[in-house]
Amino acid sequence: MDLRDFIRVVRLRWLAIVAIIVIGLALASAYTFLQTPLYKAESQLFVSVKAGDSALDVSQGNAFAEKRVLSYVSLATSVRVLDAVARELDLSGGAEALVEKVTATTPSQTVLIEIAATDPDPALAARIANSGAEQLIRAVNEVEDVDVVRLSVFQEAAVPDAPSSPRVRLNLALGIFLGLLVGFGYVLLRQVLDTGIRTQADVGRAVKAGILGTFTFDASVKDEPVIVQGDVFSPRAEGFRQLRTNLRFTHVAGGAQTVVVSSSVPGEGKTLIATNLAIMLAESGTRVLLVDADLRRPRVAEYLGLDGSVGLSGVLSHSVTLEDAIQKWGPDGALHVLPSGSTVSNPSELLGSPNMEKLIARTETAYEVVVIDTPPLLPVTDPAILGAKASGVVLVVSADGRTTRGDVSQAVVNLEAVGAQLLGVVVNQIDKAAVSKSHYAYARESGGFGKNPKTGGRM
C-alpha cells in the first residue's frame, strides 16, 4: 500500500477513525475522573562528610559521601524508618500502610536524598515527607559516626496545592493518541482483509488486462440510464467516447467485430455499459447491432423503451426472422437493437447452439460492430460460451466493493478455459475522489439522440 492508497483509505474510513478517537478520549476521561486525586510532597536531605584540608581529603570525602548516599536511600524506605514515621504521625497500619506512599531517590552524582510522599490529603503528604526525613536522620545517627557523616534537612516538604495524579492533560492526550493508533490500525487491517474492488489499482491486482474505460459513481444513472441529447457531451458521455475509441484499438485486424459485454457478478452495470457503448458507436456512424443475450434478466429493451417480447430467443428457436426481430432506436434509427425476446427455459442451450454461432456470423456481414449484453460470468456459463464465439469479451468491474478480486480472477479463468479473448476491462462505479483526470464539456451545433429516441420501427 502506497501513500495514495493510505490517504484514500483514511478518507473512506474517516468516520470510523473519528469514532475510535472519541471512544479512546472517553475511556481516558472516565479513567482519569474515576481516580482519586493524589498529592505529592518532597523533602530534601544533604549528606556531608567531614574531610581534611587537602584537596585529596576533600575528594575522598565526596566519594565516600556519594557511596553512603545509596545506602541511606534504601534505609529511608525500610520498615524501621517507616514504622517510626507511622508512630510519630499516629497512622494506622504501620510500615505496611506507608510502603506504597513513600519513595526515596538521589539525583545522579549528588549527595542529596529526596524523600517523596503521596496521599489524598496534601497536608498529610507533607507531614509524611518531613517525618520521613527526620526519622532517616535519626536512624543514620544511630549507626554512623556523627563526627564523620552528617545528614541535614536541606528543604522541608511544603503542602502541595495541586494533585500530582491523575495527570488530566497527559491522560487525555494519551487517549487521543491511542485512539489514533487503534483507528489507523483498524482501517489498515480492514483494508488488508478487504478483497473488494474499490480502485483501479485493485482491478490491476486482480487481472492483467488493459483498462478500456473508467466511469465514476453517478446517482442520476438510476433515473436516466442511457445517454440522451441533454447530456451527450457530459463527462459520462465523454467516457463512453473514450471507451469506443479504446475498443477500436483492440481490433487492429479490421473487419466486423463482435464484442461480448459481461461482468463477474450481478449488479456491476454491464447492461448500461453495453447499451451506452452501442449508442456511442452508432453516433459515430458505425453500423452497430446491440443484442440482449441475457435471457434470464433482460434489461436492454427496458432501458431503451422498446418492445422486448420479440427478439433473440425467437430468432434462435426459428419462431421469428432476424429482420422482424430487430428494432431501430434513435432519431435516425442509427442504432439497431435485437432484444432478448420471450423467456425460455433453456437459455444456455440456445446460446450455445449452432444457431447462435450462425447468427453471429450473419450479423457480422451486416454490421461493423455487434455488441452482445450477456449475464454475469460466475453464476452461469452463457457469457463464456458466447465469448468463445465472438471477437472478444469486455469485462465490466464495479469498484464499489461488491466485487472481490477473487471474483474477477475466477471470471478471467472461466474465459480462458473456453479460449475466449479478454479485450479489456471497464471499471464502473469508481469513487470520484479516485479519478484525477479532468473532463471537459463541449458544445454541439446539431445531432445527437433525443429524450424519446424510440421510433418503434423494425427492419
Within this chain, do residues 175 and 302 fall inside the same structural domain, yes or no? no
pLDDT of residue 62: 59
Q: What is the predicted pLDDT for the residue at 60?
A: 56
- Band (pLDDT 50/70/90 cuts) for residue 64 is low
Whether residue 137 is contained in a domain is answered as yes
Q: What is the CATH number of the domain that holds 386?
A: 3.40.50.300
User: Are 372 and 357 within one domain?
Assistant: yes
HSE, CB side, 13 Å, CA atoms: give it for residue 430.
24
* Mean per-residue pLDDT, 283-291: 93
Q: Which of 132, 155, 178 is the last residue of a domain?
A: 155
The reported pLDDT for the residue numbered 437 is 45
Output the 3-class SS for 164-193.
CECCHHHHHHHHHHHHHHHHHHHHHHHHHH
Q: Which of 126, 155, 184 delimits the end of a domain?
A: 155
Residue 453 pLDDT class (50, 70, 90 cuts): very low
At 451, the pLDDT band (50, 70, 90 cuts) reads very low
Q: Could you tell me if residue 116 is inside a domain?
A: yes
Instruction: Please check whether residue 77 lies inside any domain of the structure.
Output: yes
CATH for 68: 3.30.70.1130
Separation in Å, CA 20 to CA 7, 15, 175: 18, 9, 10
Average pLDDT over residues 406-414: 93
Strands 327-329 and 335-338, by their bridges, are antiparallel
Q: Are residues 179 and 273 in the same domain?
A: no
Is residue 264 within 8 Å of residue 397, measured between CB atoms? yes
User: What nine digits make up the cell of 361?
Assistant: 456470423
Kindly state whether residues 28 and 52 are assigned to the same domain: no
Residue 341 lies in a domain: yes
Whether 28 and 79 map to the same domain: the answer is no
- Residue 64 in any domain: the answer is yes
User: Is 50 exceeded by the pLDDT of residue 457?
Assistant: no
Query: What is the phi-psi region of residue 42: left when phi exceeds 0, alpha when psi lies from -120 to 50, beta otherwise?
Result: beta
Are 291 and 371 within 8 A, CB to CB? yes
Tell me: pLDDT of 224 over 50. yes
* pLDDT for the residue numbered 24: 92
- DSSP per-residue codes, 73-97: HHHHTSHHHHHHHHHHHT-TTHHHH
Average pLDDT over residues 43-52: 80
Residue 160 lies in a domain: no
Q: End of a domain among 146, 177, 192? A: 192
Name all contacts of 301-306 with Cβ < 8 Å and 24+ positions apart: 301/337, 301/339, 301/340, 303/225, 303/226, 303/271, 303/272, 303/275, 304/226, 304/275, 304/329, 304/337, 304/453, 304/454, 305/452, 305/453, 305/454, 306/337, 306/339, 306/454
Which domain does 313 fall in, by range?
A: 197-458
Average pLDDT over every residue of 323-344:
91
* Of residues 142 and 42, more confidently modeled: 42
How confident is the prediction for the chain on average, in pLDDT? Answer: 85
Paired with 105 in beta bridges are 114
Same domain, 123 and 80: yes
247 and 174 fall within a common domain? no
Same domain for 247 and 396, yes or no, is yes
* Claim to verify: residue 188 and residue 277 sit in the same structural domain: no
Let me know whether 61 and 206 are in one domain.
no
Is residue 264, in this structure, part of any structural domain at all? yes
Assign 63 a pLDDT band (cuts: 50, 70, 90). Answer: low
**Are residues 115 and 29 both part of a single domain?**
no
DSSP 111-169: SEEEEEEEESSHHHHHHHHHHHHHHHHHHHHHHS-TTTEEEEEEEPPPPPSS-SBS-HH
Q: How confident is the model at residue 275 (pLDDT cuts 50, 70, 90)?
A: very high
* Percent of all residues in the chain with a pLDDT value above 70, rounded to a whole number: 88
C-alpha torsion angle, residues 59, 61, 62, 68 (rounded to 10): 150
Is 161 inside any structural domain? Answer: no
Q: Is the pLDDT of residue 308 over 50?
A: yes
Residues 186 and 272 in one domain: no
Total domains in the fold of the chain: 3
Q: CA–CA separation, 344 vs 327, rounded Å?
A: 20
> Can you state the angle between helices 168-193 and 3-12, rounded to 10 degrees?
110
